[in-house]
């Protein structure tokens, strides 16, 4: 009769809790989270387009929700999420060509991704609010 041996205490493969959080690692996680968020954000675009196609009442309802504090907060977050994911995607496309893997390059790209996404989001919102006739 074969006896069932207790499994040997081999080291497991390292996982998240082993590593010190690094910028490149956090940006990789954020890229996935923003992609996940953008997926559901498309519901907002669908609602907006259907509202525009439905008529003035449906459009006014959308504008009321989008213009509320919660609506604006969600839209601001969505804007950042889209921009961040887009810049992150450009980073991935650069990597796909085999470039940008050096120690300095990858840190620089990660930082540029984060700073760029915040800066572009703020600029877009300033332009957007000005287009709406300034902050109300």
| Residue ranges that bind other proteins, judged by CB under 8 A | 32, 35-36, 38-39, 42-43, 45-46, 49-53, 55-56, 59-60, 82, 86, 89-90, 92-93, 96, 124, 127-128, 131-133
| Nearby residues of 81 by Cβ (< 8 Å), 6 or more positions away | 34, 37, 38, 41
Contact 28, 21 (CB under 8 A): no
Smallest distance, Å, CB 51 to other proteins?
8
CB closer to other proteins out of 19 and 40: 40
Smallest distance, Å, CB 67 to other proteins?
10
CB closer to other proteins out of 115 and 127: 127
DSSP state of 97: T
CB closer to other proteins out of 77 and 89: 89
Contact 24, 106 (CB under 8 A): yes
How many angstroms separate the CA atoms of 136 and 69, rounded?
A: 12
């Amino acid at each position: 009769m074969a006896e069932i041996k207790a499994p040997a205490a081999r080291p497991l493969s390292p996982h998240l809790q082993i590593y010190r959080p690094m910028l490149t690692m956090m940006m990789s996680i954020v890229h996935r989270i923003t992609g996940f968020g953008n997926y559901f954000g498309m519901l907002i675009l669908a609602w907006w387009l259907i509202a525009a196609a439905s008529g003035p009442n449906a459009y006014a309802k959308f504008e009321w929700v989008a213009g509320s504090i919660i609506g604006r907060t969600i839209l601001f977050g969505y804007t950042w999420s889209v921009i961040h994911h887009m810049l992150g995607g450009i980073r991935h496309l650069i990597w796909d060509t085999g470039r940008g893997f050096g120690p300095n390059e990858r840190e620089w790209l990660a930082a540029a991704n984060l700073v760029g996404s915040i800066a572009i989001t703020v600029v877009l919102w300033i332009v957007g609010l000005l287009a709406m006739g300034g902050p109300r």
